[in-house]
Structure 1
Amino acid sequence: MPAFRDDDPIRVELELKALPRGSAVADVARQMTSLIAQGTFPAGSRLPPERQLAESLGVGRSAVREALAALEILGLVTVRPGSGTYIRDSTSELLPTTLSWGLMLSGEHTAQLSEVRSALEVGSAVLAAQRIDADGVQELRAHLEAMESHTGDLGAFIEADAAFHLQVARAAGNGVMGDLLQTVRSLLRVWVERGLRSQDQALTACREHRAVYEAIAAGDAAAAGAAMDAHMRTAGDRVEHAETPAGAAVEAVAAPAARTVSAPRKGGRAAKLAR
């Protein structure tokens, strides 16, 4: 797999241009998106670490971190803990589409996406209550217990939360609904994470998830839908009040790029250098 080696700063400098001092997160995200669109960073390649990117661009590491979060929202990169940030496979084919989706991530449209997510989550809960089997109930309970045991570790809590909702979608037995839900959840991921800020909020979420679990386990579709709807209202309020520079960067990158971006060149200059 191609990679930008940590000990090859000259190559990184060739690809990245220093930005004016005080540049916004959106400026960093725009340059990175442009390089991805041009094929400079080929699919599957690993980006340099935040420190090296920050030095090459002449910006702070926090700006790089938020810019990469914006690109992850758009589906252009994936972050692998302990390994690094990688350009997503098939980015060339998906880039115009993901940027068009990114246009929706302004304040108003984020709220609308939350409404879409709510409808899908409630529908999944109703179907799950009707279709879940004993093994599915056991898995759902395990994810709930993982949430309840990690209210003091918000990172682990968020992972268990996502696993709970994924299990509900699986139990619903509707692949199309599950795929749509995954797409919307991915677009809202950063807002969801930034909106959960305290153990008290995590405890509230646990109570709401337990109500969903108990209704699904009992096979009560109406109660499952009502419990999930109540949870989505709380979650929607958190998303609405979550502020993140990555969100502004997504909108700034997507608006102009979705109109002008073309598929990356295969075998571009960076790909040749990586051989």
Structure 2
Amino acid sequence: MDRGLGMVMQNDLTKHRGRPNLTREVVNAMAQLVMERVWSPGDPIPSEKELAARFGVGRSTIREAVQSLVTLGVVEVRHGEGSFVREPTSELLSSAFLWGLLLSPRTIGDFTEFRICIEATCAGIAADKRSDDLSQTLYEVLALMKSSPQNEVVCHDNRFHILIAEATGNPIFIKVVQTLQSTVRLWFPITYSLTGTADDTLAEHRAIADAIRDRSPAAARKAMRQHLSKASKRLRYLLTRGPSRDRA
């Protein structure tokens, strides 16, 4: 690609949009640069300082965006060298799916429907197969979700869902849920700042853990469906209403 044309595209795509979730905007634009081959496989991405200046955002936002792209398998960090666009591999097949979700918020409903099908089934199987170790671990993760600072809660939230998938003993469920959680990790910070979301999220997860503890597959599926539907509603509210401290 002609360097001058590439820079024009880059400047256009990296223009700050001023929407509520800066991290998602940066991730979207950077992913688009990769897909448009403005940044090609093997290319180093600009420095954190340079990207922050181009996007008009803080360096912490750039760090979060780069980490999200690392999670998606789009970027790799080479210690002592910097961050580079990854060469295409079969692992990036799932990333193409993830990018589509990231770049098209209108697909939230489709994503939620698919996620409910997968994760509600996992919850039911986990309840049916429930071991004392699983139940204890789920409650330990809930305690961490309650006591951890906001920037760490998403890790515990992801682990909660992946533990349930692992309890099925089905490697395909496990892989799919891991992929879904990579996307959730990107959306999570948008909704968690809503007033009441922390308490609501914890209560929804506790209902899932309680149903699994009680070995009630039907209750576990219902609790998971309700949690995912409410999480989707919170996200949709913010994307359509903009930043607010009000609850969905």
Q: TM-score, with normalisation over the residues of structure 1?
A: 0.65
Q: Are 2:44 and 1:37 equivalent residues in the alignment? A: no
Cα distance, 1:114–1:136 mapped onto 2, change above 3 Å: same
> Which segment is superposed worse, 16-25 or 235-244?
16-25
Q: In 1, distance between residues paired with 2:177 and 2:202?
A: 21
Higher relative contact order (CA 8 A, sep 6+): 1
Deviation at 1:219, TM superposition (A): 0.9
Name the SS of the counterpart of 2:49 in structure 1.
helix
Cα distance, 1:20–1:77 mapped onto 2, change above 3 Å: closer
> Which segment is superposed worse, 27-36 or 204-213?
27-36
> Which segment is superposed worse, 114-123 or 235-244?
235-244
Residue matched to 2:175: 179
Residue matched to 2:193: 197
Cα distance, 1:202–1:67 mapped onto 2, change above 3 Å: closer
What amino acid does structure 2 have at the position aligned with 1:23?
K
Could you tell me the percent identity over the aligned residues? 27
Equivalent in 205, 229, 236 of residue 233 of structure 1 = 229
Residue matched to 1:162: 158
Cα distance, 1:172–1:243 mapped onto 2, change above 3 Å: same
Deviation at 1:165, TM superposition (A): 1.1
Deviation at 1:17, TM superposition (A): 4.7
> Which segment is superposed worse, 99-108 or 203-212?
99-108
For residues 212-232 of structure 1, the C-alpha deviation after alignment (integer angstroms, 9 at most, x for no partner) is 111101111111111112111
Q: Are 2:21 and 1:23 equivalent residues in the alignment? A: no
Q: In 2, distance between residues paired with 1:187 and 1:94?
A: 15
Residue matched to 1:102: 99
Cα distance, 1:119–1:88 mapped onto 2, change above 3 Å: farther
Deviation at 1:203, TM superposition (A): 0.7
Q: In 2, distance between residues paired with 1:27 and 1:223?
A: 41
Query: 5+ residue gaps in structure 1?
Result: 1-15, 42-46, 245-275
Query: 5+ residue gaps in structure 2?
Result: 1-5, 17-25, 241-248
Contact 2:127 2:213 in 1 (8 A): yes
Contact 2:141 2:156 in 1 (8 A): yes
Name the SS of the counterpart of 1:103 in structure 2.
helix
State how many pairs are aligned.
219
Equivalent in 135, 138, 146 of residue 148 of structure 1 = 146
Deviation at 1:157, TM superposition (A): 1.9
What amino acid does structure 1 have at the position aligned with 2:43?
T
What amino acid does structure 2 have at the position aligned with 1:166?
I
Name the SS of the counterpart of 1:40 in structure 2.
coil
> Which segment is superposed worse, 202-211 or 178-187?
178-187
Equivalent in 200, 221, 224 of residue 220 of structure 2 = 224
Deviation at 1:78, TM superposition (A): 5.9
For residues 215-272 of structure 1, the C-alpha deviation after alignment (integer angstroms, 9 at most, x for no partner) is 101111111111112111211112223439xxxxxxxxxxxxxxxxxxxxxxxxxxxx
Contact 1:126 1:224 in 2 (8 A): yes
Residue matched to 1:136: 134
Residue matched to 2:118: 120
